[in-house]
Chains A and B, each alone.
Chain A
């Protein structure tokens, strides 16, 4: 299994809602990532987990809360989002958090905040 699976594929939420994005991989990778991608823009790193511990937080607002319950699962909890947070949220994994590790990306969750 060489896939990173993200659910849901699409999500529409109001600014007062609480929702979660889920990411799963069964490749034995110990680094997992959240990226945000706006339309026609490159992916921007949000968070990195290494061995289930938060390693990098790119100064992301607290309305985004990541969680890594185990080595295969990564969640992104969303609360009180703004319309400008609408984007494609991509999860990725790699064998380790190290230089020159290629990333395996999921297909993403297309989020719309109304």
Chain B
């Protein structure tokens, strides 16, 4: 069974204090790993897709990386507006195309 585990469950940072979120996965055949951001009472917002080990993608203060067993979301010099829940999801392919398995999420709070 596909599993996605995110850590930590919650992370509190001071503005400007860089850190990383972790997403560990166990899947039979990874087709892609997704990062989404979710604000309270809203739907998830797409951030990145990573396809193969060694791949990196950046967007503003966020940088996502992928290894064979885990992905990291690095946040550089965060601002209060980066506060949100960050969800990791995997597409393990197989016969159920488009079926994502989500991790539990990391709740990020950035204090000014």
Q: Is A56 an interface residue (CB 8 A)?
A: yes
Asked if A98 contacts B98 (CB within 8 A), the reply is yes
Q: Is the CB of A104 within 8 A of B98?
A: no
- Chain A, interface size category, equals 20 to 34
Closest to B103 in A: A42
The residue among B46, B89, B97 with the most chain A CB atoms within 10 A of its own CB is B97
Contact A100 B100 (CB under 8 A): no
Is A48 in contact with B43, judged by CB distance below 8 angstroms? no
Report how many A-B pairs have Cβ atoms within 8 Å.
Answer: 64
B44: interface (CB < 8 Å): yes
Interface range for B: 20 to 34
Cα-based distance from A106 to B103 in the complex (angstroms): 19
- Over the window 42-81 of chain A, the binary record of Cβ atoms lying under 8 Å from chain B Cβ atoms (1 yes, 0 no) is 1111001010000110000000000000000000000000
Does A18 belong to the interface (CB within 8 Å)?
no
A48 touches B99 (CB 8 A): yes
| B contact residues around A101 at 8 Å (CB) | 98
Question: Main SS of chain B's interface residues?
Answer: loop
A45 in contact with B45 given A99-B93, A100-B51 (CB within 8 Å)? no
Chain A: minimal CB distance from B72 (Å): 19
Interface mask (B16-44 → A, CB under 8 Å = 1, otherwise 0):
00000000000000011010100001111
CB distance from A88 to the nearest CB of B (A): 8
Q: Are A42 and B102 in contact (CB under 8 A)?
A: yes
A86 an interface residue at 8 Å Cβ cutoff?
Answer: no
Question: Bound complex: CA of A42 vs CA of B87, how far in Å?
Answer: 8
- Knowing that A44-B102, A45-B100, A56-B98 touch, tell me 8 more A-B residue pairs with CB under 8 angstroms: A42-B102, A56-B96, A91-B43, A99-B93, A103-B44, A103-B46, A103-B100, A105-B45
